[in-house]
Structure 1
Amino acid sequence: MRNAILLVCWSMMFQCVFAQNPSISGTSGAINTAMAGIGASVANEWAIFNNIGALSAYQNILPSAMLSFENRFGIKALNSYHFGIVSPIAFGGAGGITFQRFGDKHFNQTQVGIGYSHQISLVSVGAKVNYFQIAVDDQIGITQGARSNFLLELGGLAQLSKKWAVGIYGYNFTQSKLRVLDAGEDRIPVILKAGVSYQPIEAVFLSLETEKHIDYPATFRTGLNYRIHKYFYVRTGISTEPFLSAFGIGFHPKDFAFDYALNNQSALGWVHQFSIRYALRKLKLREEKINE
């Protein structure tokens, strides 16, 4: 009986965490996380996770591998991992694959995706197909097993001018659900995001974004990314529903990028995220020599 009560309490905590900031469908990469989760109007390598439509709008994209780790509130069971590979495509546009995992051996979410983005004039659009799975093993026999389904992400980014851009993004456009034996269906979140970014000078990037989870109030975010040196960045942002403040730093020497983000939710505690990216510049140089 005591174990059953603990399981119910644990499940309620997970639901609270998911409602406030879904770990699989949330923001990946310490660059974006340090700006309070801004993602819809940000064109960088991490767009493969945060807005597939913005990926091809990133003019400096190279074949790259990214890895991110997040710890929420000092609880090991809330750790998440994100791995991705992106590359420009020979026939145009850019694409990549992603792997994401949240949780521990008793409860976890896993998502594997493949996406493609293409730019037409000043508009970049993209789509990504994901295989989503939830697995539960409570060790006391109440709920066990895995449930899975496919879902679709769509996104786009329009470059209105050299300084202004607008992005939109939708997670689980197919409204996919997870089937539960003898208990109907369990919905995967449907999330919509829209944002606008302003870059007055090359070293300063500002963004404002709203996110609507289909079952919860809208969230509003604003973020700042400032390059203080050729290789060093500082970032900050705030978000509502729930209110959180975010900070971060970045060090991007040549082909490597190291980023750290720190978020504070007053009711729950600290969230740390570390990410690293390696650009395979040598691969691009080799291809250019072959073309010559």
Structure 2
Amino acid sequence: MKRIFLFLSILLLNHFLFAQYQFESGARQSGMSGSGVVISDIWSSYHNQAGLADLEGFSAGLFYSNMFNMPDLRETSFAVALPADKYGSAGLNYSYSGNPASNFSKFGFAYAKRLGKRITAGIQIDYLRLTQLSYGNSGAAVGEIGFISEPIKNLYIGAHVFNPWRAKLNGTEDYISSVLRVGAGYNFSEKVLVTAETEKDIDKPIVFRAGTEYNMIAGLYLRGGVALNPVKYSFGLGYNYKNITADVAYISHNILGYYFQFGLGYTMVKKKEKTSEDK
């Protein structure tokens, strides 16, 4: 029975993760069905590195997902980023998913900078490593690039490309997917954010996602979203207390069922210097 369970786990892991060599880290974004190409937080390292340019201070995050409630499909991620004023923001991130027999990991170095009053841009270099007990190890270096623009107040437009040069795993003929995401978001008020985006994997049909975030009371956020192709529904909660954020997301897949994701974040916000009016 254990061998059958392990075999099914490996098949699912190959289908849902190795097929695109990407992680969906970020419980905030997942609570909005992954519609996060214009969102700025520590998990921009996984959705659009341009978002790192707007971090207020040193940031760190931990993420955990147990896809379809199968232990062998666990995903864990860690990310840190440090903004340096006019020099931009630099970040590191690491993710792992799988089991000893079949697993996938990703290490990334990101850099983002504000290029003007209304636009930020970011890049990232990743090293992907695939381990399969029967075939050994293989890896590849890929790139990511993205931007976020605010053409008018409260309207955000973003785009992100994963693996623009169509890299493939060394020693194999297995090409890594190139993925383009384009989306927009609008703050209808200080309490309501609505986002929508499309994603095109070069080898797959177009995916559509939409999500919303509502700040119910101070520090407490309610989220929801839907994705098409395949159909997925999501809900999420977030709570911010001083420099700490905690997020949980519930994702329902129309065929394979549901699973949860969890995230913790920390941001070291700089204290504003007192002016003569504050004293």
| CA positional deviation for 1:90 | 4.4
Q: 99, 119, 126: which one pairs with 1:123?
A: 119
| CA positional deviation for 1:278 | 1.3
SS of residue matched to 2:87: coil
C-alpha separation between the residues in 2 aligned to 1:8 and 1:213?
Answer: 27
**Amino acid in structure 1 at the alignment position of 2:237:** I
* 8 Å contact kept, 1:153–1:169: yes
Q: Which residue of 1 aligns with 2:141?
A: 150
Q: 65, 68, 71: which one pairs with 1:73?
A: 68
| CA positional deviation for 1:14 | 3.0
Q: 191, 204, 207: which one pairs with 1:203?
A: 191
* 8 Å contact kept, 1:172–1:190: yes
| CA positional deviation for 1:54 | 2.3
C-alpha separation between the residues in 2 aligned to 1:10 and 1:82?
Answer: 20
Matches within 5 A, 1:208-287: 208-281=196-269, 284-285=270-271
| CA positional deviation for 1:189 | 1.7
Residues 8, 261 of structure 1: alpha-carbon distance in 2 compared, 3 angstrom cutoff: closer
Q: 156, 162, 180: which one pairs with 1:192?
A: 180
C-alpha separation between the residues in 2 aligned to 1:85 and 1:263?
Answer: 25
C-alpha separation between the residues in 2 aligned to 1:65 and 1:263?
Answer: 24
C-alpha separation between the residues in 1 aligned to 2:250 and 2:273?
Answer: 39
**Amino acid in structure 2 at the alignment position of 1:254:** K
Q: Which residue of 2 aligns with 1:47?
A: 44
Identity of aligned residues (%): 27
**Amino acid in structure 1 at the alignment position of 2:210:** T
Q: CA RMSD in A?
A: 2.2
Q: Please give the per-residue CA displacement for 1:30-87, whole angstroms capped at 9, x wherever unaligned.
A: 100000011211122211221012221x3x5210110000011110111101100012
* 8 Å contact kept, 2:23–2:95: no
Q: Which residue of 2 aligns with 1:140?
A: none
C-alpha separation between the residues in 2 aligned to 1:207 and 1:248?
Answer: 15
| CA positional deviation for 1:9 | 5.9
Q: Which residue of 1 aligns with 2:16?
A: 17
Q: Which residue of 2 aligns with 1:100?
A: 95
C-alpha separation between the residues in 2 aligned to 1:8 and 1:189?
Answer: 24
After TM superposition, the score normalised by the length of structure 1 is 0.87
SS of residue matched to 2:73: strand
| CA positional deviation for 1:18 | 3.1
After TM superposition, the score normalised by the length of structure 2 is 0.90
Q: Please give the per-residue CA displacement for 1:80-125, whole angstroms capped at 9, x wherever unaligned.
A: 0110001212442212100011111111111111111111221111
Give unmatched runs, 5+ long, in structure 1: 138-142
**Amino acid in structure 1 at the alignment position of 2:15:** C
| CA positional deviation for 1:15 | 3.6
C-alpha separation between the residues in 2 aligned to 1:127 and 1:257?
Answer: 25
Length, aligned pairs only:
271
| CA positional deviation for 1:6 | 8.7
Residues 92, 11 of structure 1: alpha-carbon distance in 2 compared, 3 angstrom cutoff: same
Q: 155, 158, 167: which one pairs with 2:158?
A: 167
C-alpha separation between the residues in 1 aligned to 2:154 and 2:268?
Answer: 28
Q: Which residue of 1 aligns with 2:277?
A: none
Q: Please give the per-residue CA displacement for 1:204-244, whole angstroms capped at 9, x wherever unaligned.
A: 10001001111111100000011001110000000011101
Q: Which residue of 1 aligns with 2:30?
A: 33
Residues 1:86 and 2:81 are matched in the alignment = yes
* 8 Å contact kept, 2:181–2:199: yes
Residues 144, 228 of structure 1: alpha-carbon distance in 2 compared, 3 angstrom cutoff: same
Q: 95, 98, 104: which one pairs with 1:109?
A: 104
* 8 Å contact kept, 2:18–2:104: no
| CA positional deviation for 1:7 | 8.2
C-alpha separation between the residues in 1 aligned to 2:8 and 2:60?
Answer: 38
* 8 Å contact kept, 2:230–2:254: no
C-alpha separation between the residues in 2 aligned to 1:9 and 1:73?
Answer: 12
